[in-house]
C-alpha cells in the first residue's frame, strides 16, 4: 500500500513537471497551430536564469523567489522575439514551424554551451525544500516535489484567471476558436499572437526554474522533456487547459507505476502505445472545441 502511495506521489510530481511545460505549449499550439520545438530551450533559459541569479543573490530561497518572475520575463521575451522574427511569417505553414523552431533550438543550445559551458551545472535548493514531510509510516513527501506541484497548480489558476477574466484572455480565446472571425471582429490577431507567445514561453521559463530543484541544468535539458510535453498537449486536446491538466497527471502516474512494475524503457514504450490506442478512441484529444470544420 505504501508503495502504491509513494509511486502515485512520484507520478503526481512527474505530472506536475509535465503540466508546467505543457501549459505554455498548449497555449501557443492552440493559438496558431504552431509547434514550437524551441519551447524546451525556453525551459533551459529559465533554469539558467535561476543559476545566474543564485550567483548574485545570496540565499537560495530568496534567489528562487526572484527567479520565478525574472525567468518568466526572460523566457517570455525570447518567445515574443521568436514569434516576431520567424513564426508570424510561417503561420500558413504550421508543419514547417516545427522544423524552423528546431533550427532555432539547435542554435540556442549551442549559445548556452558557449556561455555556460557544456557540462551541466547545479543550483543549491533552499533548505526548506530539501526536507521531506513524513506522512504516517513509510510514506514521505519530498518538499521540492510539493513545491513544484503547488507551482503548477498556481500557474494553472493564474492562466485560467487570465484567460477567463481579462480582456486579453477573451481575445486569446476568440483567436483560438476562430482566427478569421476574430480578425474581422476587430481583434488585432497579430498582437494577440505575440502576447500569447509571451505568456506561453514565460510559463516555460517558470518550468525551468522548477526543474532546477529536481535535476541538473544543461544545454540539452529541454530536449529531454519536449516530446513528452507535446504528447500531453496532443492527448489533452489542443488549446484545452482542462485536457492538459488531466492528461499530465494521468501520464505521470501511469509512467511512474509502470516504471515501478517494469523498467523505465518499457514504461516509455507502453505509455506511447497507450497514447496511440487512446487516439483511436478520441483522435482530437480529450477535450476539443466543437467546430463545423471538416475532420
Binding region for other proteins (CB under 8 A): 29, 33, 35, 86, 89-90, 93-96, 98-100, 102-107, 109-110, 113-114, 223, 227, 230-231, 234, 263-266, 268-269, 272, 275-276, 279-280, 283, 294-295
Q: Residues 72, 154: contact at Cβ < 8 Å?
A: no
Measured CA to CA in angstroms, residue 18 lies from 125, 230, 247 at distances of 20, 9, 9
Beta carbon nearer to other proteins, 57 or 275: 275
Nearer to other proteins, 111 or 146 (CB): 111
Nearer to other proteins, 62 or 107 (CB): 107
Output 213 or 231, the one with its CB closest to other proteins.
231
Q: Which long-range contacts (CB under 8 A, 24 or more apart) does 188-195 make?
A: 190/88, 192/31, 192/168, 193/31, 193/32, 193/83, 193/87, 193/88, 193/91, 194/80, 194/83, 194/84, 194/88, 195/80, 195/168
DSSP tally for the chain: helices H, then strands E: 12, 2
Q: Which is nearer to other proteins, 17 or 125 (CB)?
A: 17
Could you tell me the smallest distance in angstroms from the CB atom of residue 176 to other proteins? Answer: 15
**Pure H helices in 86-165:** 94-116, 127-130, 143-165
Minimum CB distance to other proteins, residue 281 (Å): 9
Q: Which is nearer to other proteins, 118 or 154 (CB)?
A: 118
Shortest distance, CB of residue 83 to other proteins, whole angstroms?
13
What's the CA gap between 197 and 219, in Å, rounded? 22
- Indicate the residue among 56 and 293 with the shorter CB distance to other proteins: 293
Among 128, 159, 121, 158, which Cα is nearest to 146's? 128
CB of 84 to other proteins, least distance (A): 13
- Using the structure block, give the residue that is written with the C-alpha cell 514504450: 269
Distance between CA atoms of residues 252 and 9, nearest Å: 10
CB of 200 to other proteins, least distance (A): 16
**Nearest distance, CB of residue 233 and other proteins, angstroms:** 8
CB of 231 to other proteins, least distance (A): 6
Amino acid at each position: 500500500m505504501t508503495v502504491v502511495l509513494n509511486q502515485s506521489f512520484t507520478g503526481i510530481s512527474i505530472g506536475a513537471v509535465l503540466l508546467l511545460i505543457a501549459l505554455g505549449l498548449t497555449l501557443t499550439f492552440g493559438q496558431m497551430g504552431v509547434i514550437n520545438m524551441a519551447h524546451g530551450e525556453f525551459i533551459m533559459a529559465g533554469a539558467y536564469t535561476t543559476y545566474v541569479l543564485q550567483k548574485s543573490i545570496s540565499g537560495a530561497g530568496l534567489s528562487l523567489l526572484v527567479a520565478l518572475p525574472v525567468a518568466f520575463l526572460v523566457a517570455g521575451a525570447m518567445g515574443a522575439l521568436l514569434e516576431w522574427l520567424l513564426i508570424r511569417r510561417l503561420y500558413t505553414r504550421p508543419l514547417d514551424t516545427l522544423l524552423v523552431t528546431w533550427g532555432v533550438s539547435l542554435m540556442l543550445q549551442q549559445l548556452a554551451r558557449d556561455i555556460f559551458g557544456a557540462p551541466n551545472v547545479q543550483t543549491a535548493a533552499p533548505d526548506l525544500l530539501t526536507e521531506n514531510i513524513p506522512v504516517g509510516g513509510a510514506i514521505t513527501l519530498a518538499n521540492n516535489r510539493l513545491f513544484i506541484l503547488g507551482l503548477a497548480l498556481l500557474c494553472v489558476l493564474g492562466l485560467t484567471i487570465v484567460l477567463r477574466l481579462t480582456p486579453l484572455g477573451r481575445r486569446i480565446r476568440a483567436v483560438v476558436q476562430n482566427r478569421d472571425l476574430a480578425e474581422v471582429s476587430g481583434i488585432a490577431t497579430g498582437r494577440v499572437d505575440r502576447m500569447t507567445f509571451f505568456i506561453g514561453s514565460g510559463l516555460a521559463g517558470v518550468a525551468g526554474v522548477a526543474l532546477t530543484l529536481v535535476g541538473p541544468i544543461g544545454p540539452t535539458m529541454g530536449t529531454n522533456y519536449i516530446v513528452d510535453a507535446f504528447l500531453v498537449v496532443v492527448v489533452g486536446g489542443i488549446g484545452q487547459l482542462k485536457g492538459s491538466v488531466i492528461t499530465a497527471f494521468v501520464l505521470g502516474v501511469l509512467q511512474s507505476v509502470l516504471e515501478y512494475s517494469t523498467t523505465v524503457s518499457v514504461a516509455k514504450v507502453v505509455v506511447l502505445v497507450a497514447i496511440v490506442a487512446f487516439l483511436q478512441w478520441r483522435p482530437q484529444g480529450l477535450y476539443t472545441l466543437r467546430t463545423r470544420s471538416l475532420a
